[in-house]
Amino acid sequence: MGLIYKHASCNIAATWAKDGSQGCFNTRDPAILTPTIITLKAKNLEPETTGEFLMMRSETYWRSVGHAPLNKRGWVLQERYLTPRQINFAEDEVSWECPQLVASEGFPDGLPGSATTTDHVRLQNSKPRQDYHDQHDLRRAWSDLVRNYSSCKLKFYTDKMIAIAGLARSFRERFDDVYLAGMWKKNLHKQLCCCESAVQSDDDFSREERGSAYFTEVMDASVESQHPSGLHSFVSGNLKVRAIAMWARIREGLDAEDSCPFMITASNTVRNDAFTELVGTDLEVYWDEECGEEEPELRKKLQDIRQSDLLLIYFSGIDCSPSDDEDDRVVKVKGLILVPGVNGEFTRAGMFFQYHPETKTVLRIIGGRLGLGPDVTSLLDKIDLGDPRLADLVETVSII
């Protein structure tokens, strides 16, 4: 299916339609396409801020195309990415997408940049695409794709990998990499902290290498597929990592207004004295699975898991706002929350973030063992998880 759209001349999409009964054409108000023009004249304004201006809602394109009913369907995502050109019949107007231009009836010469750039889609005056040659642009495009796809809907959960197999094939040709059920073997440690609850991919994958320290080493990673392409129909997988880690319990904090009010408490069964300073520090937690009051059995199961001894795997420390003043720097540390299972294997329960000043504690512990300062940049490329000075801070785990 992916090859059909990839080699098509142009794709015509009934973007506004909720189902096949509505078609391309919609009854609309022609006045919507008439731009509102204002004239600014003031003595105190700079010359470039005077004159005639067109007024528009900055999210118009995202609302009418990016967030339209058709583009919330999982199977449609690869159609829009792979086809070289697309005509969108939206609710209020018709628009055009190709690698060089995004235009509409209201802006036939091209949409202003602010109309095509949102937190969800980086269109940058062109259609979503994957035909980049620069590896950083490719990683960023894949991260955007994962974010967009995660917010789409599928009628059958089993279609999750098949519905993006065409895109995965196209990216695999450009990455020259091994595809691992939505992730890539190279730089895998930068992709494991995806957040399902917040619908976001791991932003480390598309981040340029500066101001980052990684506390995780992927020792083995593989998946088994029943399909010759290796792009879907996965039946099993293996992931083994070695990382800075601590056993702990997590309980809700006292600040009820916090979006994710959790804090670290000591584990009842396993105690790592090296991390004693982290007991009582705050965590921003995103659990992988949630349920409502209407599912009491599942709710009780999740509560029991979250109140048990958990393993916190520290993946990376990111210097978010480099500054010469140590007190002004914002450092983000993130990682995974793992639940111990049988045969020494672990399952993922969620992910976490820690921010300044809690992160200074983590970095001080690691940097102190290595004779370095707590600064993230001083740890960059200097962490050897096999260093005997870090032995009691490191765990090797298999995640299923």
Q: Between residues 210 and 215, which one has the greater pLDDT?
A: 215
Write the CB contacts of 27 (distance below 8 Å, at least 6 apart in sequence): none
229 versus 307: the higher-pLDDT residue is: 229
- In sequence order, which residues have a C-beta less than 8 Å from that of residue 47 and are 6 or more positions away? none
Neighbouring residues of 175: CB distance < 8 A, sequence distance ≥ 6: 135, 138, 184, 186
**Cβ 190 vs Cβ 146: under 8 Å:** no
Of 38-47, 206-215, 304-313, which range is least confident? 206-215
pLDDT-derived band at 123 (thresholds 50, 70, 90) equals very low
User: 331-341: per-residue pLDDT in tens?
Assistant: 778 899 999 98
Closest CA to 396 of 236, 188, 244, 215: 244
Average pLDDT (200-223) is 73
Residue 56 has pLDDT above 50, yes or no: yes
Least confident of 189-198, 235-244, 276-285: 189-198
Q: Is the pLDDT of residue 283 over 90?
A: no
Q: Residue 113: its pLDDT value, please?
A: 66
The amino acid occupying position 128 is: P
pLDDT of 361-400, one tens digit each? 787 888 888 887 666 566 666 688 899 999 889 999 999 8
- pLDDT for 207 equals 60
pLDDT of residue 209 exceeding 70, the answer is no
pLDDT of residue 127: 74
What pLDDT, in 10s, does the model give residues 287-297? Answer: 888 777 778 88
Cα(202)–Cα(96) distance, integer angstroms: 31
Beta carbons of 129 and 79 less than 8 angstroms apart: no
- Which of 56-60, 79-83, 312-316, 317-321 is predicted with the least confidence, judged by mean pLDDT? 317-321
Question: Angle at Cα 345 formed by Cα 343 and Cα 349, nearest 5°?
Answer: 140
pLDDT of 256 higher than 50? no
pLDDT of residue 168: 92
* Backbone angles phi and psi of 279, in degrees to 5: -65, 125
What pLDDT is recorded for position 227?
94
Instruction: List the strands of the sheet with 101-104, edge to edge.
Output: 11-13, 86-89, 94-98, 101-104
- Please check whether residue 385 is in contact with residue 243, taking contact to mean a CB–CB distance below 8 angstroms: yes
pLDDT band at 116 (very low <50, low <70, confident <90, very high): low
* pTM greater than the 0.85 cutoff: no
Q: What's the chain's average pLDDT?
A: 81
pLDDT of residue 319: 63
Q: State mean pLDDT over 83-96.
A: 92
Looking at per-residue pLDDT, the higher value among 197 and 203 belongs to 203
Choice between 68 and 58, residue whose per-residue pLDDT is larger = 68
Which pLDDT score, from 0 to 100, does residue 120 have?
Answer: 38
Q: Which residue has the higher pLDDT, 127 or 95?
A: 95
Picking from 62-71, 97-106, 113-122, 284-293, which range would have the lowest pLDDT averaged per residue?
113-122
